[in-house]
Chain A
Amino acid sequence: MSGECECRCGLHINEDHFLAEVVDPTTGRTLGEGEEGELVLTSLTKEAFPVLRYRTHDLTALDRGPCQCGRTSARMRKVRHRTDDMLIVRGVNVYPSQVEDVLLKIEGIAPHYQIVVDREHGMDRMEVRIEVAEEIFSDVRADMVAFTGNVSDRLNEVLGLGVKVTLVEPGTVERTAGKTRHVIDNRSIE
């Protein structure tokens, strides 16, 4: 759909095949050049499966000005954020709500949790930290080990991803104005 040129200043959109627009994610109003909004695509040449103003949930801005490389197609700024909570870890789409669902199904309660994503040696690593509320705490160590194992297995089933599950003390998971910060993404954007 788009790709970087040697100037490395945005991705040239393949405008022969795609019509790109940027809209306000809340109102749907089409935005102008340079304004950041949700990327919406319409395919122009695709057969059998056309997309019409498809909302990508990616946040970007368009630049229609001339590029040093000589290409005249519009450029889009590299996508750094999405309009929803979704993360991509090792190529897998992960929604924090999926983690919440797994916890709910296992214990019937949703303890405070946090997803921490790091990149080690080029590999994405996802960790789910769960606050040990009274309902899930057991004096029997084997039960705790079984619990984390169970959560990890279920997450693996649901996401298709190997996830490390860590138990932490209540109140340790960051909260701002009472709302938990569910995702900490430590990966730098190169």
Chain B
Amino acid sequence: MTRLSEVIQLSVFIANESGRVSEVSKALGEAGINIRGFSVSDTADYGILRLIVDKPAEAHETLKNAGFTVKESGVICVDLPDQPGGLASVLKIVSEAGVNIEYVYSLIGTYVVLNVAHLERALALLKDRPVRIVTQEEIAAG
């Protein structure tokens, strides 16, 4: 069940060979899926490619059919003030609210993705804070 303010992130297991990320982006491109942001976390042996797309369900299906191992998880997306200190101010608010951030990466424009330890709790904690949480629809629309 997707909460209103939850954004779906796709994680893809990538073998440590050249061209794998390119294969993923090619498959998505051909399926008409728009990547709004991504991050690659790698070890010596393999990588985990994380994607925020406009159509997560279709993207999941496309990649699964292309033979990739995909997992979905819920993340929080916030809109940063576009000025120096923008990121710092938002991260300060989030940590003061008691939210535990696992990792962060940026998306298109001023959007930033936060992967948090306990999503529901985090959303509840941020509800009345001066942070603009962005929905899946807004991300898709750009």
A166 CB-CB contact with B under 8 Å: yes
A140 CB-CB contact with B under 8 Å: yes
A47 CB-CB contact with B under 8 Å: no
| Cβ distance B76 to chain A, nearest Cβ, rounded Å | 15
B13: nearest chain-A partner, CB-CB: A132
Q: Mark B1-37, 1 if CB is under 8 A from A, else 0.
A: 0000000010101110000100000000000000000
A139: nearest chain-B partner, CB-CB: B11
The interface residues of chain B lying within 8 Å CB-to-CB of A166 are: 45
5 smallest A-B Cβ distances: which pairs?
A: A139-B11, A169-B15, A132-B13, A137-B69, A132-B69
Q: Mark B56-80, 1 if CB is under 8 A from A, else 0.
A: 0000000000011111010000000
A137 touches B67 (CB 8 A): no
Known contacts A166-B45, A167-B46; decide if A137 and B71 are in contact (CB<8 Å).
Answer: yes
A-side interface size class: 10 to 19
A170 touches B71 (CB 8 A): no
For the complex, give the distance between the alpha carbons of A134 and B115 in Å. 20
Q: Taking chain A's interface residues, is the majority helix, strand, or loop, or is none over half, making it mixed?
A: loop
5 contacts between A and B (CB under 8 A): A139-B48, A139-B73, A167-B46, A168-B46, A170-B68
B48 touches A169 (CB 8 A): no
A30 CB-CB contact with B under 8 Å: no
> Which of A161-190 touch B at CB < 8 Å?
166-172
B83 CB-CB contact with A under 8 Å: no
| Cβ distance B24 to chain A, nearest Cβ, rounded Å | 11
| Cβ distance A172 to chain B, nearest Cβ, rounded Å | 7
The interface residues of chain A lying within 8 Å CB-to-CB of B67 are: 169-171
A172 touches B43 (CB 8 A): no
B102 CB-CB contact with A under 8 Å: yes
Q: Mark A129-173, 1 if CB is under 8 A from B, else 0.
A: 000111001111100110000000000000000000011111110
A133 touches B15 (CB 8 A): no
